[in-house]
Amino acid sequence: MYVYDEIDQRIVEQRVTQFRDQTRRFLAGVLSEDDFRPLRLQNGLYIQRYAPMLRVAIPYGLLSSRQLRALAHIARTWDKDYGHFSTRQNIQFNWPRLEDVPDILAHLATVQMHAIQTSGNCIRNTTTDHFAGTAPDEIVDPLVWCELIRQWSTCHPEFAYLPRKFKIAVSGAEHDRAAVQVHDIGLQARRDEKGEIGFRVLAGGGLGRTPIIGAVIREFLPWQHLLTYLDAILRVYNRYGRRDNKYRARIKILVKELTPEVFRRKVEEEWIHLKDGPATLIPEEIQRIERRFIRPQYRKLDLPEAGYTLALVRDNGFANWVRRNVHPHKVAGYAAVTLSLKKTGVAPGDASAAQMDAVADLADRYSFGELRVSHEQNLILSDVRQNDLLALWQEAKALGLATPNIGLITNIIACPGGDFCSLANAKSIPVAEAIQRRFDDLDYQHDIGELDLNISGCMNSCGHHHIGHIGILGVDKQGQEYYQISIGGAQGNEASLGKVLGPSVSQAEVPDVIEKLIELYLARRDSEAERFIDVVRRIGVEPFKECVYGKSHQEPAPRSRSLAAA
C-alpha cells in the first residue's frame, strides 16, 4: 500500500476545497450546467438516471482495510448502503446528493483517497494486474510504476481537456491480467538482457463502438523515459485527436487513421524534444516511491498443515473453492484469494456496506490489512497463509462471498446497465441473473470449465463484452431492449475480439441461446481440457451460429442464390 506524504495529502485536500467552491458556485447559479459539467466529471460525478453517480478512484485496484471501511461509511451515510465495484477497479456510488459530494470527497481525503479524474476527457485511473506483487509469473512488480503514473497524471495541466477519456493499463507478468491490449496505452513491463526494467508500449487499443487491439509502438522503453514518452503520446493525441465527433475521438481512431507507423513516427518526433528533459525519471524517485509502499512482511512458513490437506479431500465445497478462488503466490505458503461478488441474485460487483466492513476485517485478520479490486469486479485478499484458507473459506461463506465461480460462466462481468446508467440501451443486471440461475448447478459449471461471460448495456462496453468468450451487448431495437451475442473474444496475452453470432434476441431468449452454445461446446470439445474459447477457435463461429439460428441463417442470402443458380 502506498502511503501519502504531506504533499500528496495536500494536493488531494486542495482538490476537495476547489471542488467545494465549484459546487457552491454551481448551486448559486454562477456556474452554468455546461461550465460545471467537465469540472464535476473530473471529480467523478455523473448525473445519472435517478441521481448523481460518484465514481471513486481505487488507484490500480489497491485498497487498505481502513479505506474499505471508509467506503462502507460513505455507502451507509450518503448512499443506499451499498457500492458497485467497476471493471476499472473503481467503486461507484449510485445515490449520493450533489450537495453532499464535497463532504464525501473530504471524507475520502482522510483515508488518502479521491475521485480525481475518474471521469471526463482526461487521464483516468491507471489499472493493473489484480495479482500485482504476488503473482508467481511476475517479471516486474507494476505497483511502483502505477503510482508514478498516478502522480504524473494527477492534475496534469496539459491534458485535462483531451478529445476524449484516456485509460492506461500496466502489466508486469507473463500472463497479461490487465488487458493492456485494449487500452489507450498499454504498458507491459519487462526486463532487457541486462535485467534493466523497461516497457513495451502499446497504443490505440480499446473497446467501445470500435473495438481495436492496440498497436505496439515501442518494443522496449527504458524506465527512465516512461513519463517523457507518455507526455509525447498524450501531446500528439491532444493536438491531433479528432474533436469533431465524440464517437471518433478516442486515440484508437487517431492511430487507425494515421496508421500505427505514422502515429509512432509522430510520437518519436515529439519525444526527441522531451527525452532526457527534467521529467526523466531518476533512481532516487523509484526508491522513494518503493519505500512509501507498505509491503507485507512475509514469514517463512512450514508446509501446509494436515488439517488443510485433509479438508481438501473431505470437503468438496472447500476443494471447489480452492480450485476456483485460490490462486498461486510467489511466496511459499501463501495464496491469493478471490472473494466473489458474483453470487446469483446480487448485481455483479455490488457489495453492501456490511460486506465491505466484514471484508475489511477479513483483510486485517488474514491478509496484512490489504486487498485488491479486480477488473472482473471481485475483491481479492492477496496474501493469505495457506493454513488459514479453511478458516477464511468458512467466514467468507457466511458472508455470501465464497461462491466458487472464478473463471466460470457465472463470474459474469456486467456494467450497471439500464437499471442505473442513462447511457444504456438495455438492462444488464437481470440478464446476468437469468444466466446465473440457468447455470446455478455448480457441478455443471465446473464441468463447463473456464468461461468468461461479459455483458454491456450499450456500445460503450463498460462490461467488456468484446473480450468475453461469450459477449452480450444490449441494443435498442425500435424502443425494445434486445441483446446481441458474440463469441470468440478473449482477454490476456491472446486477446481477441468476439464475432457477432447473428440477429439480436429478446431478454427472455438470452439464457436459452447461452445454453445452446454451451451444449454445442460440450458436444464438440475433444476433452475437458479444451475450453469453450479453444473450441470456438478450432471450429469457428459457424457451427455455433447454426445451433442458435438454424441452418437458414448460416449462409448470407446472395451466396445462397448463386449456389442455387449453380
Partner 1 sequence: MANLIKNRRPAADPWQLLEPAADGGQPVIPPHGDIIVPLVTWLEQRDTLLSRSGRLGVWLDSDEEPALLGDDLRLFGVVAVNFSQFTDGRGYSIARLLRERYGWRGELRAIGDVQRDQLFYLARCGFDAFALREGEDLQSALSAFGDFSEAYQASVERAQPLFRRRILASSDGMEWS
List interacting residues with partner 1 (CB under 8 A). Answer: 5-7, 10-11, 14-15, 17-18, 22, 25, 30-31, 35, 38-39, 121, 151-152, 154-162, 227, 235, 238-239, 243, 273, 277-279, 281-282, 284-285, 288
Which is nearer to partner 1, 156 or 365 (by Cβ)? 156
**Least distance (Å) between residue 239 CB and partner 1:** 5
**Least distance (Å) between residue 7 CB and partner 1:** 5
**Least distance (Å) between residue 269 CB and partner 1:** 11
**Least distance (Å) between residue 389 CB and partner 1:** 38
Which is nearer to partner 1, 238 or 320 (by Cβ)? 238
**Least distance (Å) between residue 425 CB and partner 1:** 26
Which is nearer to partner 1, 18 or 344 (by Cβ)? 18
438 within 8 A of 515, measured Cβ to Cβ: yes
**Least distance (Å) between residue 152 CB and partner 1:** 6
Which is nearer to partner 1, 157 or 195 (by Cβ)? 157
* Cα 103 from Cα 153, distance rounded (Å): 24
Element at 518 (helix H, strand E): helix 510-524
**Least distance (Å) between residue 224 CB and partner 1:** 12
Helix/strand/coil percentages in the chain, nearest 5: 45, 20, 40
DSSP string of 203-251, one letter each residue: ES-B-TTS-BPPEEEEEEEEGGGHHHHHHHHHHHHHHHS--S-GGG-SH
Residue type, position 322, single letter: V
Which is nearer to partner 1, 161 or 247 (by Cβ)? 161
Residue 534 CB partners (closer than 8 Å, separation 6+): 525
Which is nearer to partner 1, 148 or 501 (by Cβ)? 148
Which is nearer to partner 1, 242 or 397 (by Cβ)? 242
**Least distance (Å) between residue 158 CB and partner 1:** 5
**Least distance (Å) between residue 171 CB and partner 1:** 23
Measured CA to CA in angstroms, residue 307 lies from 6, 313, 328, 386 at distances of 47, 10, 19, 11
* Cα 379 from Cα 401, distance rounded (Å): 9
Q: Give the residue from 58, 70, 168, 53 showing the smallest Cα distance to 110.
A: 70
C-alpha cell at 162: 483531451
Q: How many Cβ atoms sit within 10 Å of the Cβ of residue 244? A: 7
DSSP string of 364-381, one letter each residue: HHHSTTEEEE-TTS-EEE
Q: How many Cβ atoms sit within 10 Å of the Cβ of residue 297? A: 7
C-alpha cell at 140: 516486474
Which is nearer to partner 1, 113 or 347 (by Cβ)? 113
C-alpha cell at 460: 460503450
Which is nearer to partner 1, 157 or 479 (by Cβ)? 157
Q: Give the residue from 380, 366, 371 showing the smallest Cα distance to 338.
A: 380
